[in-house]
Structure 1
Amino acid sequence: MAAPDPLDLIGIDDQLSAEERDIRAAVRRLCDDVVAPHVAEWFESGELPDVRGLAKEFGAMGLLGMHLEGYGCPGMSAVDYGLACLELEAADSGIRSLVSVQGSLAMFAIHRWGSEEHKQQWLPAMAAGEAIGCFGLTEPDHGSDPDSMRTRARRDGSGDGADWVLDGRKMWITNGSVADVAVVWAQTEEGVRGFVVPTDTPGFSAPRIHHKMSLRASVTSELVLDGVRLPADAVLPEVTGLKGPLSCLNEARYGIIWGAMGAARSCFAAALDYSKDRQQFGKPIAGFQLTQQKLADMSLELSKGTLLALHLGRRKDAGTLHPAQVSVGKLNNVREALDVCRTARTILGANGISLEYPVIRHMNNLESVLTYEGTVEMHTLVVGQTLTGHAAFR
């Protein structure tokens, strides 16, 4: 009997089909070719210099809107998409965010809630990476409580054909400064509505956010809407209320469940290799009990988190995945991945803070992933409500 693969200690690969393993391998090769040689430099400079080139590479691979059907989208399974997210985030959380925001937020919103005209106009170009989208929900003063958003959309005129006029601000928006289209959520007299906003519309601007110490290989922006005038048909017609944006967030959170394990795997692999080479007191530090305890604990959490992601992926493909189960996955996997990365840093010692290794980059990135798409506190309360039947959000 062959010894287990140290990066797959319990043999999770046995639960994947040959096609799923092939998809994972193809995404890993793409990341090795177009991301890995440059990502440390992008992180250090705080720039992602060729976002459109990357988007076209990912579009050609079928990674944009990967799990959506029609309109140029590949229509692949949830598990296929999850495995892709794992490989993308093993490269960098910012790269996975580029793909997640495009496919699971902006494209999903249009695909699920948009008109046929919206779908025909935007989805084929977005699937190909020829158009980039962003998703405007979070505001400077309102993150976890989107129902209190201040962005407003009002009718200007009479009847169903009246224009919409949007005013407000959105914050921490991935892809904002490079987007061709923004899906923006705003308060209206009818409740929260979504709007498809071409970013060349007068009154729309998206200044970049600088001085980040996390997700530095990612474009992050503020969206400014000053009297943005849109035609009547710019509104997403199929949804009113928070059901719209929250359904999109669940799609993105699902990808994070997998992606976090990619970051954890990258750091675990770096720590394992380093421990075998680093000599102290006359032998590799891998030969010391305390180092082996760290490596064993990291491997256990990587195995359990990946199993959880796969289980939830199978449920999603079967149509039985509940939003509370997505919260379980996001809460557990990001929290444990961050702990794996921090432990890896201790094994690398001072080298753990160098961008010669991926560890500090993943650590910093996961501090953002821990917060976005629902904080630890919010997902804890979702799980708590599911367990007890009592909402404790207020």
Structure 2
Amino acid sequence: MTEQTFRVGPIRPPSEAGSLLIQVTRGCTWNKCRFCGLYKDNTFRAYSVESIKNDIDVIADYVERIKPYIDNQGRWDRLGLKGEINKLSPTERESFYVVLNWLMHGGENVFLQDGNSLALKTDRVVEVLQYLRKRLPWIKRITSYARAETLSRISAEDYKRLKEAGLDRIHSGFESGSDEVLELINKGVTSEQEIIAGKNIKESGIEFSVYFMPGVGGKDLSYKNAIETARVVKEIDPDYVRIRTAVIKTDTELWEYVESGIFKLCSENEKLNEIRILIEKTKGCSGILTSDHVVNLLQGLNGRLKEDNERMLNAIDEYFNLPESEQKIFQLARRKLMVTFVKDLKMLSEFQREKLEEITRRITDEDKWNRMLNELLMQYI
């Protein structure tokens, strides 16, 4: 008898933590970005519509097997579930747990993986979306990642077809709106293509979520990274601007640039100032800025670019108004996950503060300090 399993890829946005993950492609069509080593050893693969439908059928079957063990008050029959799980093979259990976890998180949202799912022809994506909506008709949101360059080649009409078929949101890692930075990191896209993609998506009614990577241009391009990204954001007015502070990993080409001296790591203050510039220059935009990843220095920085602009700038300035010594204490404590907000500095024990202060006194060279913090951040991505 064939095992009832389905594919699940390696990544998803933090905002899709409770979503059902369905892998329609594997890897990335480009796979040449100098800051990314995620898919280095994987060749891009687009799965057939039939195999994706088969995965959806398996998921729907597990949903039906799980449903009897939850009552209309949302209470779970854990003993009954255990009996159901005991009938499965080890690999089937992995798939079962994925569906169970999804249902326990509400069972409403789906995320299509991997890094560039919309590289599939629109007709194929539409067929997958329609089948997904047919088999799991209660779904409220379907989301996908896609490269900006790929998105720029999809017409406004095709986006409308995707919207009608059930695609609700697209995530895209722009990283920067600066053509110099995009070339430096070998992103394989231009700012003009980003704008074309964004405008077509917005016209269709699909929500658009873009990612900005402060620090990815290094010290030399720090200001351009911020100001040019603000320009692109103003042109598009995406629904979400998500902050993903640059972390340069040692298995990437960009780290080789660091080692050779071509690329100089930004300080925490330079990266935060990029975010400040972005917020300041996009005041009229209607979208939401969200700092929803642990690699961001100020993780709780969230709000509407229009209504909450001043509040977010004030939150950044609360940090910048700290004495330099306290800024370094916060940087280190934050990277060690000892604090989340500036106000948390008051919660540090005397022992913790002494240890942090000892490190700040010992490492006075800026480059060494930046490298140490970058190394601490590597464990989170």
TM-score class, shorter-chain normalisation, is under 0.3
More helix by share: 1
TM-score for both structures, normalised by structure 2: 0.24
Give the structure with higher Rg (CA): 2
TM-score for both structures, normalised by structure 1: 0.23
